């Protein structure tokens, strides 16, 4: 079996599972945020439930419209805050003590290798980077998981992506996954487990692995998973809140498709509006002026991402007609960026630094676009109206390209501003 199949089989109490099989499996973590959890809580109460299956296994993180941007968002957050208090939820992260859920849970050791995780947010697939089977579900499914501690799944078929070669300057895990989505399309891995492997994965730092797994959903993937190695275990050992199990795919496991990607041929990429599959090398884009640059989100708001942005911005100034908004993904990332002097680099360049929030990624707050405006963002989606007005445009890139574009006032290769 593949790693994805093994995790599902163990959590279902079965010796083996096959793609397409419907199973009931016990979940290790059930996650909700300020947008999705209130609906789940309503369903929880409608079903007459008194208590969650385990207050240490339900996680609630207000992160999308926080700090509260208006009365409606304040009410949403109040619902989950009161539910957390009522149920004795151990992992409730208030503003100022948490951050963006998908950066926060691995950082805090709440999710560990071998877990089966469900979250009422599509980017729950992020935790595949540490060898967990993690996937997004609807809010009513989250309610069932909170009550029962288990949920039904259809076992996905697995696709194997083998990355090899040595990456060039300014190429990151974001470029690996953008290239992959461009190759197979936004539905190329629909309801499949995407397994990432190869020598070019083994040399990636954890932060860039999280970026890859995070965007598996942009190809339709059920999960983007990486078999744990030394890099993974070094990251997990100092964080894990409980024991974990490392799963590996068997030799000869069945994959519906295998693709090999030579990363030495990649240059920094940009996904043009209005789909993540609309990918081109930055050198081929031409002169496209931008109004805003966002560096952050559950995709690229970790410390590695901020260091990459600072490498470009040090000693530079943001273009006078560009807004550069930098959003550390968690409070810990925020503190580390301060310790390393990255904030001074950003402020000297003319950037705004936000408290951790999803904010502009979903057109929520802290950087909504007006009609006709363009943004370069290290986020994960560039659908019509994703960051604001339906007639605005979002271009997805890695932090190097985003920072260079902020300086140039147009989409730019990092070499152009160094």
**What confidence tens digit (pLDDT) does each residue in 243-273 have?**
999 999 999 999 999 999 999 999 999 999 9
SS3 at position 311: helix
CB 356 within 8 A of CB 328: yes
Q: Residue 6: its pLDDT value, please?
A: 98
- Residue 187's alpha-carbon distances to 2, 323, 380, 391, in angstroms, are 21, 33, 15, 24
Structure tokens at 111: 């999710």
Residue with tokens 């070019």, as numbered in its chain: 200
Residues 311-315 have a mean pLDDT of 97
Residues 227-236 have a mean pLDDT of 97
Nearest of 301, 267, 304 to residue 182 by alpha carbon: 267
What pLDDT digit, counting tens, does each position of 10-57 carry?
A: 999 999 999 999 999 999 999 999 999 999 999 999 999 999 999 999
SS3 at position 153: strand
What pLDDT digit, counting tens, does each position of 66-99 carry?
A: 999 999 999 999 999 999 999 999 999 999 999 9
Beta strands in 165-232 (DSSP E): 192-197, 223-225
Q: Residue 250: its pLDDT value, please?
A: 96
What pLDDT digit, counting tens, does each position of 219-229 carry?
A: 999 999 999 99
φ, ψ of residue 395 to 5 degrees: the values are: -115, 125
Q: Residue 182: its pLDDT value, please?
A: 96
Dihedral sign from CA coordinates of 203, 208, 209, 212: negative
Go through the domains of the chain in sequence order and give each one's CATH number: 3-261 (3.30.499.10), 270-416 (3.30.499.10)
Nearest of 134, 82, 78 to residue 105 by alpha carbon: 134
What pLDDT digit, counting tens, does each position of 266-287 carry?
A: 999 999 999 999 999 999 999 9
What pLDDT digit, counting tens, does each position of 372-403 carry?
A: 999 999 999 999 899 999 999 999 999 999 99
Mean of the per-residue pLDDT values for the chain?
Answer: 96
CB 337 within 8 A of CB 306: yes
Q: Residue 179: its pLDDT value, please?
A: 98
- Residue 266's alpha-carbon distances to 97, 312, 348, in angstroms, are 38, 20, 32
pLDDT band at 200 (very low <50, low <70, confident <90, very high): very high
């Amino acid at each position: 079996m593949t790693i994805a199949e093994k995790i599902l089989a163990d959590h279902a109490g079965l010796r083996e599972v096959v793609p397409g099989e419907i199973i009931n499996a016990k979940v290790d973590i059930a996650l909700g945020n300020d947008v999705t959890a209130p609906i789940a809580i309503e369903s929880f109460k409608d079903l007459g439930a008194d208590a969650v299956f385990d207050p240490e296994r339900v996680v609630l993180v207000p992160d999308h419209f926080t700090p509260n941007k208006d009365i409606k968002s304040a009410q949403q957050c109040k619902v989950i805050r009161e539910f957390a208090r009522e149920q004795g939820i151990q992992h409730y992260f208030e503003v100022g003590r948490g951050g963006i859920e998908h950066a926060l849970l691995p950082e805090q050791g709440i999710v560990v290798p071998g877990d089966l995780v469900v979250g009422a947010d599509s980017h729950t697939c992020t935790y595949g980077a540490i060898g967990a089977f993690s996937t997004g579900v609807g809010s009513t499914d989250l309610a069932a998981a909170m009550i029962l501690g288990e949920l039904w799944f259809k076992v996905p078929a697995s696709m194997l992506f083998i990355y090899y070669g040595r990456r060039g300057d300014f190429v990151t895990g974001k470029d690996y996954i953008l290239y992959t989505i461009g190759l197979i399309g936004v539905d190329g891995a629909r309801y499949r487990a995407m397994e990432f492997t190869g020598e070019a994965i083994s040399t990636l730092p954890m932060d860039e692995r999280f970026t890859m797994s995070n965007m598996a959903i942009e190809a339709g993937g059920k999960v983007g998973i990486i078999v744990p190695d030394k890099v993974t275990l070094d990251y997990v050992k100092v964080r894990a809140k409980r024991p974990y199990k490392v799963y590996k795919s068997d030799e000869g496991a069945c994959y519906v498709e295998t693709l090999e990607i030579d990363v030495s041929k990649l240059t920094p990429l940009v996904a043009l509006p209005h789909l993540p599959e609309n990918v081109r090398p930055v050198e081929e884009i031409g002169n496209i002026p931008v109004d805003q640059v966002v560096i952050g989100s559950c995709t690229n708001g970790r410390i590695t991402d901020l260091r990459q942005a600072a490498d470009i911005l040090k000693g530079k100034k943001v273009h006078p007609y560009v807004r550069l908004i930098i959003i550390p993904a968690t409070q810990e990332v925020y503190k580390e960026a301060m310790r390393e002097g990255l904030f001074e680099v950003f402020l000297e360049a003319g950037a705004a630094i936000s408290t951790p929030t999803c904010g502009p990624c979903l057109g929520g707050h802290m950087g909504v676009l007006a009609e006709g405006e363009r943004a370069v963002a290290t986020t994960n989606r560039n659908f019509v109206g994703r960051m604001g007005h339906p007639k605005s445009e979002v271009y997805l890139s890695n932090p190097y390209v985003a920072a260079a574009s902020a300086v140039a006032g147009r989409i730019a290769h990092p070499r152009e501003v160094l």
